[in-house]
Structure 1
């Protein structure tokens, strides 16, 4: 998902804000001496400038305006378009007599500039040009009222380019959940600070390209409101891996053992092991079902492979590894539970994925997860739901709350996978991954991620740092692979060659 400044003078911050924090930023800006109407005019002008930059000949501009400050931003944009003699109309969802404060002033500005005003009609939609969504801002709580839902449906059915101001109407700014229905924008301009719901959950599917304009606020305004979360970027995290010494040897970079590959699932363990090897682990081994050993050695002779049929057979092999990755292709058989049980007994750093998480959720192998604090969990939403004892829909309704609860309940670093993957730890604010693409929705992607994470832990990174760097590295490798192979045909193994390119 592309995140960019709306103008060269408005650099995008890595901070991500809740709706309450966005209001606090507004209040801090006003307290610093910037009138509220001035902020609205800056927002409207920033949006208008973006519109001109992206749509040189926009044709008819139809601005859907609600009654709050979001609608006020739309009225300002419409007035500026009229000043430039561009065809523009405002489609009003709130009668002028019901407008108040800055929104009323913005309406009067648009009226003064000769903007055509039309009341919303469900049976009349724009048939040309483009649409600006200024219906509902970040303060929406609950499902929009029926006329707003009708307007949202009309915008979505028009088939025209859509620019959303601050947030697509109907999207929850805090969670990224859709509240009844939401505008599907091709371009969203977020004002002052990025709202965290734009970038996770349903947000990426409804926002399109996301840009941010800080409206020329002074830096001390942002210092007064610490961000709730932060975007993660590969350039900012790559320095976590120090350059290798000239006299380095393989023992300096740890030994990752991947435990998994029940009958029929040996490929998952192999992909995790290959990813660990390409991500810099000094040694990589696999403990799996004996029948998978020939294929593993034929494909990747650098990986040590041992066939084990029970937890008792696995135990002697656990003396050498420094990090264990448990779960790729593990299954949920008695063999699977024995593998996880032996791994947990070692006290070694663990990366748990896939069926290791499902076994953990069942509570048979690890009855009391509190106090372990040397593991990294990588659930997708359904696995997260099992770990929390809730439904997948509940996890997706508030991914930030879910990842925070997972981190607290299991005292672990956690990556909640999905569009806008979230990374939680006790040490840092929640991190959000904006790299990656829909081609990653295919089998084996989680296995590759778990191997990357194991390698980073083996090279000495803390759990928090390994989770953050690993999640971003995985997503960036997927973007490079999709550039070559296309998203629709992307395979998990396609990512592996790009790991070395990104890590250097």
Structure 2
């Protein structure tokens, strides 16, 4: 099990966890609610930066249910309007104000006391009408916080509440946020903020949008709750990157941080291998040797002189030729890990070369892009890390689940997507780690090449722990992408600008 990860819980396990933590003690529950509300407010404002920031006179719509999720949303809205003196809040009580449980009612009172002139609660409960008030439907909201139902919701949803959620879905609100889970599986969120623990239903909920895990310390030793240990599903947290942010030893040199070999590039795809090499250099590798088609080597060396560039014989179409294998063999003892695939193309001779490389020995190999072929993966004798997107995974593991594939292949799999999953084995059991960092800013060519280089740099430093290398590379890549999107938006950026945020992300820890 990788340190700095937490279990993803079933709803039943989450109820059991909170019972252990709070024991129905309202003092403890209120403290946790305050903490959750503050964390949601902070996260919402941070994520709003991707679309220009929360407006100074922003209008917030809160959908409040009866219990803790409604209370969390009310506290978050209070935290936001305390920071923005011209912002306003409108609260729609899904079941009426009288239905509020004590702590949610307390959160509502505190919101009113904070700025009574800027807070309005709906007078109508949906028990009397399924129609929204005209002012509600016509309002120009900037943010919606969904706190109607939590993880204790039991379907079906009553028709009036379903109508409320559907009508809110139809409003042109720039950012919609759900607390813990999108209510009733109906509310469509841009972000879902999992407070305290991640509940398993949101991982595959298409209405959840982007998931943010807000760690409230439930699994810290101080909380007194023991992490249940190895679980099939776990979530990565920034704590696992702390060793990268620490001071390096005074008596270190370039060999202390691994020697990574990168093989890739072709006449058709010259930029991919350049991006992978640059990412490896920018993410801490001590030495990087890059094997590229010989016609590219001189130009690449001028661009990134920090790497060692080795020109490789080419096929007639400009890819790596099989005859160059001796160049790798005579240097392989110097390597700690290899990355093979960025920009390599699909020529039969080049793929035959990759097949020979993965049979060479015990150096861990990361396969990316067109190097991800089923016969190559099956033939490998080297410890493997593979980094497919969904289409590539279907090619190397047809009709197999991630869990089944990692058990049978013994490879570490980085399955890239809106939620990136790292599959590995812990003995005979599969463990699937989830990274919720990143987002649409990564939906552009080259982001996978950067990730391959970053994981490779980590793999060269921890060649005996490929799962740790993969997890650190994935999370660091995603968190840097989040910083890029907040700084420059999701659209008008270059892929490689992500690298400019790697250092700031670590220092921010």
| TM-score with structure 1 setting the length | 0.71
What does residue range 134-283 of structure 1 map to in structure 2 within 5 Å? 134-138=147-151, 150-159=163-172, 164-171=178-185, 181-184=186-189, 190=194, 192-196=196-200, 198=202, 202=206, 205=209, 222-223=225-226, 229-239=233-243, 246=250, 248-283=252-287
**Structure 1 position 439, deviation (Å):** 1.6
Q: Deviations over 1:302-361 (max 9, x none)?
A: 33122233223224423324221111112222033123112111122101111122x13x
1:463 — aligned with what?
466
Q: Matches of 1:289 and 1:259 in 2, distance apart?
A: 9
Q: Which moved more, 1:444-453 or 1:414-423?
A: 414-423
Alignment length, in residue pairs?
Answer: 438
1:21 — aligned with what?
13
The answer on whether the counterparts of 2:366 and 2:385 sit within 8 Å (CA) in structure 1 is yes
**Structure 1 position 447, deviation (Å):** 0.8
Matched, 1:49 2:54: no
**Structure 1 position 170, deviation (Å):** 4.6
Structure 2, gaps ≥5 residues long:
31-65, 315-320
The answer on whether the counterparts of 1:262 and 1:336 sit within 8 Å (CA) in structure 2 is no
Which one of the candidate residues 350, 363, 366 is aligned to 2:365?
350
**Structure 1 position 434, deviation (Å):** 3.7
Q: Matches of 1:217 and 1:65 in 2, distance apart?
A: 36
The answer on whether the counterparts of 2:196 and 2:214 sit within 8 Å (CA) in structure 1 is no
1:297 — aligned with what?
301
1:6 — aligned with what?
none
Which one of the candidate residues 291, 295, 313 is aligned to 1:308?
313
**Structure 1 position 46, deviation (Å):** 3.8
1:476 — aligned with what?
479
**Structure 1 position 450, deviation (Å):** 0.9
Task: State the Cα RMSD in Å.
Answer: 4.4
Structure 1, gaps ≥5 residues long:
1-11, 94-116, 172-180, 396-401
2:455 — aligned with what?
453
- Give the match's secondary structure for 2:183: coil
The answer on whether the counterparts of 1:234 and 1:469 sit within 8 Å (CA) in structure 2 is no
Q: Matches of 1:224 and 1:278 in 2, distance apart?
A: 34
**Structure 1 position 242, deviation (Å):** 7.9
Q: Which moved more, 1:250-259 or 1:463-472?
A: 250-259
The answer on whether the counterparts of 1:452 and 1:470 sit within 8 Å (CA) in structure 2 is yes
1:415 — aligned with what?
414
| TM-score with structure 2 setting the length | 0.70
Q: Which moved more, 1:463-472 or 1:297-306?
A: 297-306
**Structure 1 position 459, deviation (Å):** 2.2
